Amino acid sequence: MKNFQIRNVLIILIFLTKSSVGFGQFEKKSEDLAALTKTADSVRAAFFSGDVETVMKYHHPEVIKAIGPDKLLVGRKAVASDLKNTLENFQLEFIKNEVENQRIYGDTSIKQILFSLRGTPKQGGEPWTFSGRTLVISVRYDKSPTGWAIIHEIIQPFPQN
């Protein structure tokens, strides 16, 4: 009988230990998800306001972006230059941002998003909409306001009607 009781106590202790470790990991993941959401929200808001400097705070210095089939940008300077040129000519607004999938693996986040972006020419002309799917990989980066920075992004445009 005594062995039975000791075994039960050990099983309960093991269960409690595993539960508390799992809970701690969940808390960290929730904090990470909140920081990553804030990163994405801040980037979209800065796009809308035309604030390239703020957008770049959330990009790793070694960022690589494939923003079209024929356009690969390597490094923060290239991304900032391209974005500055775009925002000088267009007001950009994300009108759809639907996260299809997001996973966090340690210090890396992988997020897949369906999006639509409305561009309004600043010098007049008709607004346009660009839609697609993007894969955004972020890493922990202590110089980012949220502790996360985009290091790689691939944009898959949808055919425009």
Query: Could you read off the pLDDT of 11-40 as tens digits, one per residue?
Result: 554 444 444 444 444 456 889 999 999 999
CA 86 – CA 128 distance, rounded (Å): 13
143: its two tokens: 């110089």
Cα-based distances in Å from 58 to 82, 122, 145, 146, 156 = 16, 25, 7, 8, 21
Task: Provide the H-helix boundaries in 67-128.
Answer: 76-89
Of residues 161 and 94, more confidence is placed in 94
Fill in the amino acid letter for 32. D
pLDDT at 138: 98
Q: What is the pTM of this model?
A: 0.80
Are 58 and 44 contacting, i.e. CB atoms less than 8 angstroms apart? no
Classify residue 75 as left (phi > 0), alpha (psi -120 to 50) or beta.
Answer: left
24: its two tokens: 């701690």
Are 79 and 60 contacting, i.e. CB atoms less than 8 angstroms apart? no
Rounded to 5°, the CA angle 159-63-37 comes to 75
pLDDT at 161: 62
Count CB atoms within 10 A of the CB of residue 6: 10
Mean pLDDT of 61-88: 96
Nearest CA-CA partner of 49 in 79, 92, 89, 83: 92
Helix (H) or strand (E) holding 45: helix 2-49
pLDDT at 93: 95
pLDDT bracket for residue 82 (50, 70, 90): very high
Of residues 160 and 43, more confidence is placed in 43
Mean pLDDT of 86-109: 95
